Amino acid sequence: MIIGLTGNIGSGKSTVANMFKKLGATIIDADKIGHEILQNECYEKVIQAFGKQILNQDLSINREKLSNIVFSNPDKLKKLNSIMHPVMTNKIRNMINNSNTIIEAALLFEMKLNKFCNKIIVVKRKTKDEHQHILKYQMPQELLLKKANFVIDNNSNLENTKKQVLEIWEKTKRL
C-alpha cells in the first residue's frame, strides 16, 4: 500500500509521518529529498537560474535567500519547480516499495505524486499567519480535503492525533 500524506505548510505532516513510522511505515520525505537535490543534482541549474547571490560563503545554496526570491515572484517559483520537481518525482518513484510506504509531500498533487498512491491522507490544521506567503502557492485546504481518502484533524492534542493515525493505519492494513 502506497499512501500519500499531504497538507498545507504547518499542518503537522512530519509529526503524523513520524507516528506512522513508529507503526512500521517507510516514509519518503519529499522536503528532505528536495533539500538534498538542491545541493546536488539541481545545484548548477538553480545557480544558473537565480544567480550566485543565493550562495552561502561555503558555496552551498542558501535556501532562505532562494525562498525569499521565489515566494515573492510566481514566475520564479515556476522556474524553480520546473528544475526541481522532475528530479524529485523521479527520485521518489525509484524509492517506492509496495508495502507500507508513505510519501510525505506538501505538493503531492502539484507534483503529481498522487499517481503513485493507493490512498491519500490529508492533515488539516488551522494555518498560522507566518505561513501565508507560502500558502498562496499551495493547493487550498478545502480542495485537498475533497481529494482525501482519510483526514487527520491536527487541531487538538497529540494523543488525539495518535488515535486518528492508529485508526487509519488499521484500516489501510485491511485494504
The CATH number given to whatever domain includes residue 88 is 3.40.50.300
- Nearest 5 degrees, angle CA 43-CA 46-CA 49? 150
Domain span at residue 6 reads: 2-174
* Residue whose entry in the numeric block shows the C-alpha cell 532562505: 64
Give the range among 48-62, 105-119, 122-136, 146-160 with minimum mean pLDDT. Answer: 122-136
Which candidate, 12, 95, 81, places its Cα nearest to that of 42?
Answer: 81
Three-state secondary-structure class, residue 166: helix
Q: What span, in angstroms and rounded, lies between the C-alpha atoms of 136 and 6? A: 16
CB-based contact 135:127 (threshold 8 Å)? yes
φ, ψ of residue 3 to 5 degrees: the values are -120, 130
Q: For strand 119-124 and strand 150-153, is the pairing parallel, antiparallel, or unpaired?
A: parallel
Instruction: Give the tens place of pLDDT for each residue, 1-51.
Output: 999 999 998 899 999 999 999 999 999 999 999 999 999 999 999 999 999
Give the global pTM.
0.92
Q: What span, in angstroms and rounded, lies between the C-alpha atoms of 34 and 63? A: 11
φ, ψ of residue 58 to 5 degrees: the values are -85, 10
* Residue whose entry in the numeric block shows the C-alpha cell 526570491: 69
Instruction: Give the tens place of pLDDT for each residue, 76-103.
Output: 999 999 999 999 999 999 999 777 899 9
147-162 burial, b for 16+ CB within 10 Å, e for fewer?
ebbbbbebeeeeeebe
**Given pLDDT bands bounded at 50, 70 and 90, which one contains residue 132?**
confident
The number of folded domains in the chain is: 1
Q: What span, in angstroms and rounded, lies between the C-alpha atoms of 115 and 117? A: 6
